[in-house]
């Protein structure tokens, strides 16, 4: 006779194990401890077998009956329910292995990544991660395990790769959490345990006193064979200088990344896949950069803003750095060094907050926890900061149009914000004191965001 729910609920423990049958091979095994286990007795290939369905009350009488019926259906198909259950468990465990989840994460992202970058990411995993924790269930991996794995990379001196590795593993765990395979990211808090980064090797850059000559050299650049190639290279250099971006970000700039060029707040939106830190980066564009883009738009019919010699290809990796060499700056100034010049100018001004400067440079926040919670973009103050920088460059490249001369002639103290621009206040004589300026508030009251 089939069991009733109350019989199951109030089945009391005895000195010996005993069974309560529900029919069809399904029974409840009651242990002397009082625990209750659902089991199914069946025959397969002439042998008697037992299949466990789980403990009551987690598995109710109704659920146990459903499982019995599913097992009977498998037997009708000539399949062993116990072997089928084991195979499902093996497949589930295979899916929950770190390597399986990491490959699923990579496949989910690969379409949006630069192919070369996507290959580097998975190669790094295959070399340094999968051999160590690839077969481990993702939910069981601990922070010490990950740290031990990273230590092996640090031991061969690859400190930059070790940090990138930790970042990639963290992204896999976040994917696993979102997919229901894990509940925590054990990489959080590991930064303090990693070996410190090696001292930063600053890219060559000229002094502030030599900066005006560098800007004029870019303006007058004539180191290419054809006028068209000269102009593209010249504009790429100037655009990189105006926007504080990395060389690759200028090289691969496409027209569909630019927004609101005809408005008061033009913007360049770079996707995470284009950025070193793999986060979206927004560049508020000063009018000088917009003017340059409009000129390039009139003169090119390519998806890239700065096209190379072949249609559909950007300028080469070496185009801009070779231009620096041709201008006489070999060993003295690199294109990446433009960012250092901009950072030095902004920090020495003492009127731009470090957060604005670091955000403009698309740097990663050294404080991991703070970086996770600080979502401020500082677009308005960054726009004013880049405008001041662009105005200063204008003073050098177009002194007659602005109303003054670089060489020792004072400039009118007017700016788009109603105060003297950084460039104008710092140029009593550009030869000797190009960007010295008095301290001044960067924002009007109530505008600090």
User: Mind telling me the catalytic residues?
Assistant: 246, 276, 336, 339, 363, 373
Distance CA 410, CA 426 (A): 10
Core vs surface per residue 2-32: b (16+ CB within 10 A) or e:
ebeeeebeebeeeeeeeeeebeebbbbbbee
Distance CA 29, CA 102 (A): 41
Contact 19, 36 (CB under 8 A): no
Contact 72, 24 (CB under 8 A): yes
Question: How far is residue 86 CA from its own chain's centroid?
Answer: 39
Distance CA 370, CA 367 (A): 5
Could you list the beta-strand ranges (E) of 16-106: 18-23, 26-30, 36-44, 47-56
3-class SS at 213? Answer: helix
Q: Which H or E run includes 342?
A: helix 337-349
For the record, the structure tokens of 88 come out as 């499902």
Core vs surface per residue 277-310: b (16+ CB within 10 A) or e:
ebeebbbbbbebbbebbeebeeebebebbbbbee
For the record, the structure tokens of 322 come out as 């070779």
Query: Would the CA dihedral through 186, 189, 192, 195 be positive or negative?
Result: positive
C-alpha closest to that of 149 among 136, 162, 167: 162
C-alpha closest to that of 329 among 226, 255, 233, 221: 221
φ, ψ of residue 202 to 5 degrees: the values are -70, 135
3-class SS at 227? Answer: helix
């Amino acid at each position: 006779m089939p069991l009733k729910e109350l019989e199951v609920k109030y089945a009391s423990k005895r000195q010996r194990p005993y069974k309560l049958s529900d029919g069809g091979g399904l029974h409840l095994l009651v242990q002397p401890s009082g625990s209750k286990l659902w089991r199914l007795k069946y025959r397969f290939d002439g042998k008697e077998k037992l299949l466990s369905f789980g403990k009551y009350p987690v598995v109710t009488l109704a659920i146990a009956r459903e499982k019995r019926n599913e097992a009977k259906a498998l037997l009708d198909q000539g399949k062993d329910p116990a072997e089928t259950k084991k195979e499902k468990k093996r497949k589930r465990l295979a899916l929950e292995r770190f390597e399986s989840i990491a490959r699923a994460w990579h496949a989910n992202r690969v379409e949006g990544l630069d192919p070369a970058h996507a290959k580097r990411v998975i190669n790094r995993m295959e070399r340094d991660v999968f051999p160590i924790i690839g077969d481990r269930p993702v939910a069981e991996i601990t922070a010490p395990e990950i740290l031990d794995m990273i230590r092996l990379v640090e031991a061969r001196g690859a400190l930059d790769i070790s940090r990138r590795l930790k970042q990639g593993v963290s992204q896999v765990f976040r994917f696993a959490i979102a997919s229901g395979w894990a509940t925590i990211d054990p990489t959080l808090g590991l930064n303090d345990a990693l070996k410190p980064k090696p001292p930063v090797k600053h890219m060559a850059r000229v002094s502030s006193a030599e900066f005006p000559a560098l800007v004029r050299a870019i303006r007058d650049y004539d180191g290419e064979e054809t006028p068209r190639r000269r102009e593209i290279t010249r504009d790429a250099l100037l655009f990189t200088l105006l926007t504080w971006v990395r060389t690759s970000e200028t090289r691969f700039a496409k027209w569909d990344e630019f927004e609101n060029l005809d408005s008061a707040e033009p913007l360049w939106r770079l996707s995470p896949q284009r950025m070193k830190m793999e986060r979206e980066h927004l560049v508020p564009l000063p009018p000088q950069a917009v003017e340059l883009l409009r000129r390039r738009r009139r003169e090119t019919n390519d998806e890239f803003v700065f096209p190379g010699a072949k249609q559909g290809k950007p300028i080469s990796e070496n185009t801009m750095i070779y231009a620096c060499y041709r201008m006489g700056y070999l060993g003295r100034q690199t294109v990446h060094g433009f960012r250092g010049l901009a950072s030095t100018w902004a920090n020495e001004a003492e009127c731009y907050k470090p957060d604005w400067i670091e955000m403009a440079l698309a740097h990663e926040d050294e404080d991991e926890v703070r970086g996770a919670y600080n979502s401020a973009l500082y677009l308005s103050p960054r726009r004013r900061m880049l405008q001041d920088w662009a105005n200063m460059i204008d003073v050098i490249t177009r002194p007659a149009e602005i109303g003054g001369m670089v060489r020792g002639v004072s400039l009118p103290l007017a700016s788009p914000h109603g105060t003297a621009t950084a460039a104008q206040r710092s140029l009593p004589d550009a030869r000797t004191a190009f960007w010295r300026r008095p301290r001044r508030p960067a924002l009007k009251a109530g505008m600090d965001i």
